[in-house]
Amino acid sequence: MNSTPTEQNSNQRQVPELSLLSYVNGTTGDQVKFVDDLYLGLKEYGFIILKDHTVDQVKVDRAYDYVHEFFQLPEETKMKYYDEKIAGQRGYTPFKREHAKDNPNPDLKEFWHVGRELAEGSQYKGVYPENIWPTEINEFKQSFQELYNSMDATAVVLLEALGKALDVPADYFKNMIADGNSILRTIHYPPTKGQDTHNSIRAAAHEDINLITMLVGATASGLQLLDRDGTWLDVNSKPGQIVVDTGDMMSRITNDVLPATTHRVINPETDSEARYSMPYFVHPHSQAMLSCLKSCEGTGRKYEDITAGDFLIQRLKEIGLL
């Protein structure tokens, strides 16, 4: 299932690169341009790349050091942190445990989930699973808490800008993701040597569940999106950049104006190459209602209202984690 050159988009379209700092620090004109480009990029591709942003690269690099260290631990050690009762929503999920919706073949990956550290008074304390932390790696907890908080703050800024294009109140998305069930996932794609690469790839074609995903610093190529003409388009980013895509929840509330774009991670040309990546899945709080935005109703709403919590459970069942 490796991609071949004939599958690639012959037009050589490229995912737009935008400057988030032009929105944060720029003039009114800069901000308007960023909002327009963000909206058009997500509408046209379902993906954009942030060439600069507000996430400290030092935090990203430090987290990746700990990711490498964790996934080199013995399998029996890693399995101590797998809790099947919570469907891997926190802690470790073993190799080939997850599959794409409607695809019975497992993905060739293992991963670790970090969620929000809620205040004691939060109404979602006890609703979301508690974080699980490996005791074998010093500073793992602190490093990922810092990175999580940085990604979360950047998500607020990015969604504020997108909200302007969608004509919602300034605090619409900020309120929706406050105490949200957002997840920082660290993924290890081991070398594919000895695996069934005819039926399984590193991440089979799928759409993300959440509002938006922010991918920091994948260590190797392989990410592709399904372009509007039905061909696979490589999504290539540089160190320090963040790849952003829209998920099913965003597609739902925008009536598919901002579609959740199908994407995948293909197998490498050499079966000895590992890959690591770190997506941050931005989720609303579980009671948030996923309702069609007024600006996106068009000729009528396509989807019934559903809470973010109920939608998440529905999708976790579809991908084999519940």
Q: Which residues make beta-bridge pairs with 226?
A: 232
Would you state the pLDDT for residue 11?
A: 53
Would you state the pLDDT for residue 147?
A: 97
DSSP secondary structure, 175-218, as one string: HHHTT---EEEEEEE---TTS-TTT--SEEEE--SSSEEEEE--
Amino acid at 218: A
The DSSP output letter for 55 is: S
* Alpha-carbon torsion, ordered 230, 12, 277, 252, to 10 deg: -40
Would you state the pLDDT for residue 321?
A: 67
Would you state the pLDDT for residue 185?
A: 95
Which has more confidence, 88 or 72? 72
Give me the phi and psi of 62, to 5 degrees please: -65, -40
Would you state the pLDDT for residue 316?
A: 81
Taking CA atoms, 140 is separated from 69, 91, 94, 125, 203, in Å, by 10, 12, 19, 22, 26
Would you state the pLDDT for residue 219?
A: 63
The Cα 252–Cα 289 span in angstroms is: 11
pLDDT digits (tens, 9 = 90+) for 120-141: 899 999 899 999 999 999 999 9
Q: What is the pTM of this model?
A: 0.92
Q: Pick the range with the lowest mean pLDDT from 59-63, 83-87, 170-174.
A: 83-87
Would you state the pLDDT for residue 108?
A: 86
Residue 7 pLDDT greater than 60, yes or no: no
10 Å Cβ neighbour count for 152? Answer: 18
Would you state the pLDDT for residue 280?
A: 97
Would you state the pLDDT for residue 4?
A: 37
pLDDT digits (tens, 9 = 90+) for 289-312: 999 999 999 999 999 999 999 999
Q: Which domains does the chain have, with CATH numbers?
A: 21-318 (2.60.120.330)
CB neighbour class for 308 (10 Å; exposed up to 12, middle 13-18, buried from 19):
buried
For residue 64, what are the contacts with CB-CB under 8 A and spacing of at least 6? 217, 219, 276, 278
Structure tokens at 301: 């709403």
pLDDT digits (tens, 9 = 90+) for 8-28: 444 568 899 999 999 999 999
3-class state of residue 233 by DSSP:
strand
> Residue 43 half-sphere exposure, CB side, CA atoms within 13 Å?
13
Burial 108-123 (b: 16+ CB within 10 A, else e): bbbbbbbbbebeeeee
pLDDT, mean over the chain = 90
Would you state the pLDDT for residue 218?
A: 65
Structure tokens at 105: 């073949």
Would you state the pLDDT for residue 322?
A: 63
pLDDT digits (tens, 9 = 90+) for 191-216: 888 888 888 889 788 899 999 999 99
Which has more confidence, 153 or 316? 153
Give me the phi and psi of 32, to 5 degrees please: -60, -40
The DSSP output letter for 283 is: -
What pLDDT band is residue 236 in, cutting at 50, 70 and 90? confident
Mean pLDDT for 99-115 is: 87
Amino acid at 282: V
What pLDDT band is residue 97 in, cutting at 50, 70 and 90? confident
Residue 160 pLDDT greater than 60, yes or no: yes
What pLDDT band is residue 319 in, cutting at 50, 70 and 90? confident
The Cα 306–Cα 276 span in angstroms is: 34
98, 209 in Cβ contact below 8 A? no
